[in-house]
Structure 1
Amino acid sequence: MAPTSLILKPGTAWPDAWERSLAAAPEAFQDDRVRNLWAASWRSDGRALPATSPVDGSPIAGPPRLDGDTARQAVRAALDAHRAWRHIPLPERAARVSATLDALTAHRELLALLLVWEIGKPWRLAQADVDRAIDGVRWYVDGAGPMLAGRTPLPGPVSNIASWNYPMSVLVHALLVQALAGNAVIAKTPTDGGVACLTLACALAAREGVPVTLVSGSGGELSEALVRAPEIGCVSFVGGRDTGAGIATAVADVGKRHVLEQEGLNTWGVWNCTDFSALTAVIPKLFDYGKQRCTAYPRFVVQRSLFADFLAAYLPAVRSIRLGHPLAVESPDDRPPELDFGPLINAAKAKELADQVTEAIGRGAVPLHRGALADARFLPDQDTSAYLAPVTLLNPPPSSPLHHAEPFGPVDTIVLVDTEAELLAAMNASNGALVATLSTDDPATYARLAPQIRAFKTGHGKPRSRGDRDELFGGFGHSWRGAFVGGELLVHAVTDGPPGERLPGNFPDYHLMP
């Protein structure tokens, strides 16, 4: 049962985080709004939209949305900065990026606190997001020399459009590596959250002379400037397939360098398997951040004869999931709670998923587990409209989005199969994914089936992750377009190499323009 007398941990309220942000970067924060950063200047332009925290529905800072004309001015200014920065020697670029990392480290807890309020990350995961950004970029700083040997920056700045779920370890990480490689960088703040965290991070980078542009606005309004403008040297996108498909068409038409990571239905197959204790141990970890991750596993494809064993392993694990207010404690001296997840990104997303679950059940899906918010950790009388307890459905109908698309929330679906052909068909339901896993006792069976699974990374009884250092990362089918990244390839994706170089990745039948 959930504790009955919880309080908000002192010093962690949104007004506390906002006051600390104002003190840390007064140039970037103004009264109750954030500013846009372009032409090396923080500007109070754009129409600031209201926003609320998914944690409890309270007001927070919204994005100051620019119009298309202003975004084009920002892109032209970024090109001027790029032309100067690309000639800065690597040791100087590395020194400025290192100084930025030191500043991010000094503000680690504030950045994490902003992530909690803006996108609902539990404290542990918010800190991990900040740490992965800092540690990851340091690895590139330390090894930049060999990675950049014989390579030059792109002709124009790199434009970054990313989803809201990992502002630091995906977006800020990418920005700083791209800048280290000699490029000016542009970022669009995600519409659904993270603007204050990104603003603080970019303010710290700009102070060290890193050429960063940070703008807010709708994708439709800014895409002409951030995607199609001739000044842009590369487009890096993380998000949904519909938006990604439009960007892919735009960049392919002109041969522009691109890295487009898109959603896919990552699947976990169970075939001729007896090691169910390993599955029980990993299930709670698969619910980190409410499965609001590009490498989450929302679909299990299970051999019918093993279904009873699977349920015996799965259900106790999913019943142990901990969720609630990320900063609710029993006494002032307590640390923030260890939660698997807090709210979804907003109340609309929680309602959308709840409606999809209801509709799927109405069309024949069998509910195997439905968690209850009454068992979660909440403050008295707080708004819980953005929260959704874990749900598990057996055999969602083909007409349901839960059958073929990534839910991006704590909803698992299970499909039963009788043959290997059915297993592969069900695991490949979304025509391409980033990761997959196959649990099977026989190594030969894994070696035979894994290459037929349409995922870029496939694990043998273990989950796979995005990764950025020791191995490259990409996707199959509709889950990825353009250059693969990870390790030195993340640097190669945003630099030019020898004439005629062909970067590893999913490209149409043409060579990238130099």
Structure 2
Amino acid sequence: MTQCTPENPVPLAPTSAFIAGSWTDLPARFVLRSPVDGRILAEVADCGTREAEAAAQAATAAFASWRLTTAYQRAAILSRWAELIQSHAGDLARLITWEMGKPIRQSRAEIKTAVTLARWYAEECKRITGESIPSQFPDKRLQVWKVPVGPVFAITPWNSPVSMVVRKIAPALAAGCTVILKPDEQTPLSALKLAELWAEAEGPGGTLQVLPSADPVPLAERLMMDPRIAKLSFTGSTAVGQKLYGQGSSTIKRLALELGGHAPVLIFADADIDAAVAMTIHAKFRYAGQSCVAANRLYVEDAILPEFTAHYLEAMGHLQVGDPFAEDTDIGPLVSETAVEKFKAQLQDALDRGARLLRGGAVQGLYCTPTLLAEVDPQSRIFHEESFSPLLPIQGFRDEAEAIALANDTPYGLAAYLWTRDLGRAYRVAEALQCGIVGINDGSPATPQAYFGGSKLSGLGAEGGKWGLEEYLQLRHVSIQLPG
């Protein structure tokens, strides 16, 4: 366990692997440092192929009984888990902030999302229903059942280390699947704490296992080649997702891949400028831009571009960068030096191509100021790469057709945002955008009961709502010949 003292005020969390319902100490461990101030948070168990094999065996054995539990039994455990997450909300929020640097207010909001997700799937699993279908034969009864797909391998990212874990494993467990979770190596403590609470909620051994790993490649390859693992649910980069896609082909795994995003924001001349500024600030700069649905490209109709830019710069000036544990902080550190180097490289590339720096650009350690660029060359990296930082280009457009063309000029298709008071335009643009999520006058459209997913290189499959639950179910046709 990590020790919570005045010198090290990190909440208690397990540091061992959680395999087959037991905490497993390993001689191999890796050091976890906080992006907040560089302190060592813990030394965490470093799992490899041996632990992957043990987890696969345990998940397979547990699935044999877990799939037979009633929806009401699973719902009761998930409900207890949700209440435990709620009762430990303060510690979990602090863990998020220590592990990845998210401002504490935003960490608390993440816990609320996680609790809502757990509660949602505790209720939704009671609504898994099949169908009876008409038969052309009087002595046959035809049914279609929905049954759990089997043991699941889940890989979660560091940017939302509690809500992303719950969003994947709650529907899997609700469906009757067992889960092996590999949390990101930068944020394992949050996931291990959730496993501790799952056990406290009386989740059976082997239904949820957590394997932290400093080098997840061998572990992932082992589980991806294992025919007992029926499904992969992955959130992360497109490059890694493409590799996992290929690895799953030999065993024909079910796949849900939530990959990179490059969200455009379209501001039309009839928009409420103050509301559009406020919500676009939120869509871009929460988590310091480290979100797959973060605004990456800001397009404003030419007629209001100067006015909008002035309002936007003023709003950016009110953003507080600093200690993520301070209640008034809006932007904390980036998660790693690698993230900072990407911020600096994209910024320098744009400047070298003639971009004008309107605000920001300063870097101190892992802390980067919110940055706005104008007159950016369309070939600049920032227009073609996910930023995952507080760096944003602003560009004008002439009309609706050009706005749609600019928004769709990307191989990614996760989220997009638009601001207009014209209902017809809202529908036309939303229908034309090539993405899975559209916010119309809304900078935060994601919600637990709705679909969450993308198209093109942003992935496949679904999370959220009933669609997230169906990802862990497969259909079975049952034909019954009546006797006599």
Place the TM-score, normalised by the shorter chain, in its bin. 0.7 to 0.9
Query: d(CA) in 2 for partners of 1:492 and 1:474?
Result: 14
- One-letter code aligned to 1:474: G
Q: 1:351 aligns with which of 333, 336, 341?
A: 341
1:448–1:89: structure 2 CA closer, same or farther, 3 Å change rule?
A: closer
Q: Which amino acid aligns with 1:313?
A: H
User: Is 2:133 the partner of 1:137?
Assistant: no
| Equivalent residue, structure 1, for 2:467 | 489
The answer to whether structure 1 residue 44 and structure 2 residue 22 are counterparts is no
What is the TM-score when the length of structure 2 is the normalising length? 0.88
Give secondary structure in 2 for the equivalent of 1:463: coil
Pairs within 5 Å for 1:111-260? 111-148=92-129, 151-191=145-185, 193-207=186-200, 208-210=202-204, 211-217=207-213, 218-252=215-249, 254-260=251-257
Does the aligned pair in 2 maintain the 1:347–1:387 contact within 8 Å?
A: no
1:296 corresponds in structure 2 to: 294
Would you say 1:264 and 2:261 are equivalent positions?
A: yes
Give the partner amino acid of 1:181: A
Q: 1:89 to 1:147 in 2, by over 3 A?
A: closer
In the aligned structure 2, how far is the partner of 1:447 from the partner of 1:149?
Answer: 34
For residue 35 of structure 1, report the CA deviation from its aligned partner.
0.6
1:403 aligned residue = 383
In 2, are the aligned partners of 1:279 and 1:313 still within 8 Å (CA)? Answer: no
Distance 1:450 1:134, change over 3 A: closer
Q: Is the 8 A contact 2:262 2:293 kept in 1?
A: no
Shift of 1:492: 1.1
Say if 1:252 and 1:13 are closer, same or farther in 2 by CA, change over 3 A: farther
CA distance in 2: counterparts of 1:479 and 1:205, whole angstroms: 31
Partner residue in 2 for 1:316: 314
1:402-441 mapped onto 2 (5 Å cutoff): 402-441=382-421
- 1:17 corresponds, among 7, 10, 21, to 10
Deviation for aligned residue 1:67? 2.1
Unaligned runs of 5+ in 1: 1-10, 22-28, 328-335, 374-383, 501-514
Q: What letter is aligned with 2:111?
A: V
CA distance in 1, matches of 2:72, 2:7: 39
Q: Secondary structure at the match of 1:187?
A: strand
Distance 1:90 1:459, change over 3 A: closer
Partner of 2:455: 476
Could you tell me which amino acid in structure 2 is paired with residue 405 of structure 1? Answer: E
| Match of residue 82 from structure 1 | 63
State which of 248, 273, 276 in structure 2 corresponds to 1:276: 273
Report how far residue 311 of structure 1 moved. 0.8
Taking a change above 3 Å as real, the CA distance of residues 91 and 421 of structure 1, as seen in their structure-2 partners, is closer
User: Could you list the per-position Cα deviations for residues 443-464 of structure 1 after superposition, in whole angstroms to 9, with x for gaps in the alignment?
Assistant: 3233333322112122333224
1:389-414: CA deviations, max 9, x gaps? 10111243344321211101111112
* Distance change >3 Å, CA 140–CA 169, structure 1 → 2: same
Change in 2 beyond 3 A, CA 1:122/1:12: farther
Q: CA distance change for structure 1 residues 257 and 122 in 2, over 3 Å: closer, same or farther?
A: same
Contiguous gaps of at least 5 residues in structure 2: 132-144, 479-484
Task: Write the distance in 1 (CA, Å) between the matches of 2:275 and 2:234.
Answer: 34
Query: How far apart, in 2, do the equivalents of 1:338 and 1:148 lie?
Result: 47
Q: Which amino acid aligns with 1:127?
A: R
Secondary structure at the aligned position of 1:186 is classed as strand
Q: 1:325 to 1:225 in 2, by over 3 A?
A: same
The answer as to whether partners of 2:258 and 2:459 remain within 8 angstroms in 1 is yes
Cα distance, 1:46–1:89 mapped onto 2, change above 3 Å: farther
Counterpart Cα distance in 1 of 2:374 and 2:42 = 40
Report the CA distance between 1:362 and its aligned residue: 1.7
Amino acid across the alignment from 1:437:
Y
Shift of 1:96: 2.0
Is the partner of 2:392 in helix, strand or coil? strand
Aligned residue in 1 for 2:91: 110
Q: CA deviation at 1:44?
A: 1.3
User: Aligned equivalents of 2:72 and 2:440: distance in 1?
Assistant: 42
Q: Deviations over 1:70-119 (max 9, x none)?
A: 31232122111111211122222222222222322222211111111111
Change (3 A) 1:14 1:243: farther
- Distance in 2 (CA, whole Å) between partners of 1:94 and 1:446 is 39
Deviation at 1:63, TM superposition (A): 4.1
CA drift at 1:254: 4.0
For residues 253 and 13 of structure 1, the distance between their equivalents in structure 2, rounded to whole angstroms, comes to: 51
> Any conservation in 2 of the 1:323–1:339 contact (CA below 8 Å)?
yes
Q: 1:148: how far off?
A: 4.9
One-letter identity of the residue aligned with 2:77:
R
**TM-score, with length taken from structure 1:** 0.83
Secondary structure, aligned partner of 1:15: coil
Tell whether the 8 Å contact from 1:75 to 1:225 is kept in structure 2 after alignment.
no
Instruction: Give CA-to-partner distance per residue, 1:354-403, whole Å, 9 cap, x none.
Output: 23212321221111111657xxxxxxxxxx51111101112433443212
| SS of residue paired to 1:367 | strand
Q: Is the 8 A contact 1:435 1:465 kept in 2?
A: no
CA contact (8 A) 2:120 2:448 kept: no
| Structure 1 residue 274, shift from structure 2 partner | 4.6
Paired position in structure 2 for 1:6:
none
- Tell which deviates more after alignment, 35-44 or 412-421: 412-421
Number of equivalences: 457
Alpha-carbon deviation of 1:243? 0.6
Q: CA deviation at 1:149?
A: 5.3
